[in-house]
Amino acid sequence: MNIYKFCFTMLWASSVLGAAGAAAQAVLPLCQSCHQADGSGNAALQAPALAGQQQDYLLRQLQHFQSGLRGAHPQDTTGAQMRAALPTNLSTDELTALAGHFARLPLPAKTTTQPADPVQVDKGRRIYINSCGACHGAKAEGVAALKAPSLHQLDAAYLSRQLEYFRTGVRGNDKTDKPGRQMAMMARTLPGEQEITQVIAYIRSLP
């Protein structure tokens, strides 16, 4: 990460969070303890990357955790941890400031543990184009107008876990969560784990 850009972003975030309130400032270090100061996430802690994600999407998820729309299902253990860590007294302005802080951080660099199988990547590309690209964009960059988040900065384990949650009703089963219900419907069009693995291999192969 460019150190000058990072320092500028941190100074900007400090001023915005300060304007939003002391509660938001107090909770930021807690967020960073799992999601990292640069927002790159920590796969070992099952904490996804937040840097560069859409502010509206991050705000919506924070509100869902706060209200219990997300993280209340007994199978969502990581969501339950996030829900328990998020103070319930944060206002919409404070949640917006937190979301904006991470949304404005530079996209994290991708890390890979082993070269991708080109055959699997190509199969995943075909599935992605048919099932995912219309909402999440040709390069998995997300489409804010469709409330579809960016995917390309998310680690493989997180993507796999969330797709399984959508497929099994852990996420996207509340009638008030229209984007979640749409995602659950699309996730169920994937036949099984092999296709999920292929789609994720393609997403992770994107620059």
* Cα dihedral 71, 197, 145, 11 sign: positive
pTM of the entire structure? 0.88
Identify the pLDDT of residue 20.
Answer: 60
Q: Is 74 exposed, middle or buried (0-12, 13-18, 19+ CB in 10 A)?
A: exposed
Identify the pLDDT of residue 17.
Answer: 61
Identify the pLDDT of residue 155.
Answer: 96
Helix, coil or strand: residue 148:
strand
Return d(Cα 119, Cα 122) in angstroms, integer: 5
User: The domain 118-205: what is its CATH number?
Assistant: 1.10.760.10
Region of 165 on the Ramachandran plot (φ > 0 left; ψ -120 to 50 alpha; else beta): alpha
- Asked if residue 112 has pLDDT above 80, the reply is no
**Residue 73 CB: number of other CB atoms within 10 A?**
17
Q: Average of pLDDT values for 94-115?
A: 87
Identify the pLDDT of residue 126.
Answer: 97
Helix, coil or strand: residue 14:
helix
Name the segment(s) of the chain with CATH classification 1.10.760.10. 3-103, 118-205
- Asked if residue 114 has pLDDT above 80, the reply is no
The fold of the 3-103 domain, in CATH, is Cytochrome Bc1 Complex; Chain D, domain 2 (1.10.760)
- Asked if residue 4 has pLDDT above 60, the reply is no
